[in-house]
Structure formats: structure tokens, C-alpha cells
Amino acid sequence: MLGVIDLPTYLAGLVLIVLLPGPNSLYVLSVAARKGVRTGYTAAAGVWCGDTVLMTLSAAGVASLLQANAVLFGIVKYAGAGYLTWLAVGMLRAAWGMWRTRHERAEDSEVAAAPAAEERPYRRALVISLFNPKAILFFVAFFVQFVDPGYAYPALSFVVLGAFAQLASFLYLTALIFSGTKLAAAFRRRKRLSAGATTAAGALFLGFAVKLTLASA
């Protein structure tokens, strides 16, 4: 179909890959838990746009450039790791604020824990996606296995594979968003639980930053 071979195997692999936890999905879940469905979808839109850009860059040959140029790969890698670290520090600071105000009334705690500036979830999710050079390499390494080398329009094959990937991402992030809103009610009632969950999220983001720092082309 349009130069795509072994579609069932691709779909099975895609489901497993999408279900793996990553900074994008974790960020969408945390935003939905804190600010609701609409804001969760705003963050998810940043993920989808970022993935679309990475898929386009992969098809355009940027992955080969990153593999061949260690300096360029390092710049993108460390920029991404730095941004994830910055997000992690913000989460840990927020968790500390929740812990300090855990005995206050819900209204007072929400005021104390409120960020000084607007979060802009779309932009954050987009940046998290774009500053991940391994994702570009992954899209090429995974997609190319399911493209018929004899097909006259390989770019069209990439579009088909990318469309399936985005559909799987949409379904998965939708499930996370609605799960996050259910968690939000429990977090509002239990300040210690909220602080602990935010601390865990910050720690995971630090782990993602370290993992990205250690990545090689």
C-alpha cells in the first residue's frame, strides 16, 4: 500500500513504542492533571507538531547530517538535556512549595503553588520534542524498514507511516489526558500525594536529561 510493506508488523511495533514512557507523554499527563483536559490537549498539540517536524526532517535527510556531524549532534543533545533539567528543577521547586503548604487550606495552597508566569504548555511540549536528536534518528531507522525500496515515491510512504504514528500518539495522549484529570481530584484533596507525584515527575525529567546527555549518534 503506497510503498509500505509489512504494515501489521509496523503497527504492532508502533504500539509498543508509543506506550514507552518519555518526557513528552509525562509532560502532557502532568499538565492535564494540573490544569484540565483543554490545557492537556494544548500540550499534546505541541507534541504532535514537534513529531511532525522531526518526521519531515528525517525524510529530508537531516538524520544523516546528525549522524555525520558529531558537533551538531552534541549541540542539539546538550540543549535538549539542559531544557529537560530546567523543567525538572521547576517541578522540584513546585513540589517543595506544595510540601511546605500541605497543612494550609486548598485555596491558600493553590495560590502559594501558582507559578509566577504563564506556563505556555504548547511551547514547552514543542521544545521538548524538537530538542531530541535521537528521535530524528529513530524515525529514519524505524520507518525505513517498512518502505519498499522499489517504490517510486518513498516520501509518500513516509507520510503514510507518519500518519499512523500520529494517530497512535493521538489515542495514547488522549488516554493520558483523561487519566490525568481523574488524578487531579485526588491530588487536590491530598497535598502530600500531589507533592510526591510532582517530585517523582521532576526526578524522571532529570533521568531523561541524563539519558539524553549519554546518547550517541
Residues 13-44: tens digit of each pLDDT? 888 777 766 788 888 988 888 888 999 999 99
Percent of the chain with pLDDT over 90: 14
Distances in Å between the Cα of 139 and the Cα atoms of 14, 35, 52, 58, 190 are 11, 31, 11, 7, 41
Neighbours of 85 (CB within 10 A): 18
Confidence of residue 212 (pLDDT cuts 50, 70, 90): low
- Residue 118, pLDDT above cutoff 70: no
CA distance 129 to 32: 18
Mean pLDDT of the chain: 76
- Residue 207, pLDDT above cutoff 90: no
Residue of 146 and 49 predicted with greater confidence: 49
Q: Do the beta carbons of residue 209 and residue 85 sit within 8 Å? A: yes
**pTM (predicted TM-score):** 0.67
Q: In this predicted structure, what is the pLDDT of residue 162? A: 87
Mean pLDDT on 171-180: 90
- Residue 115, pLDDT above cutoff 50: no
- Which of 99-108, 158-167, 188-197 is the least confident region? 99-108
Q: Do the beta carbons of residue 18 and residue 168 sit within 8 Å? A: yes
Whose cell is 513529531? That residue is: 51
CA distance 6 to 204: 35
**Selection from 49, 56, 59 nearest residue 24 by Cα:** 49
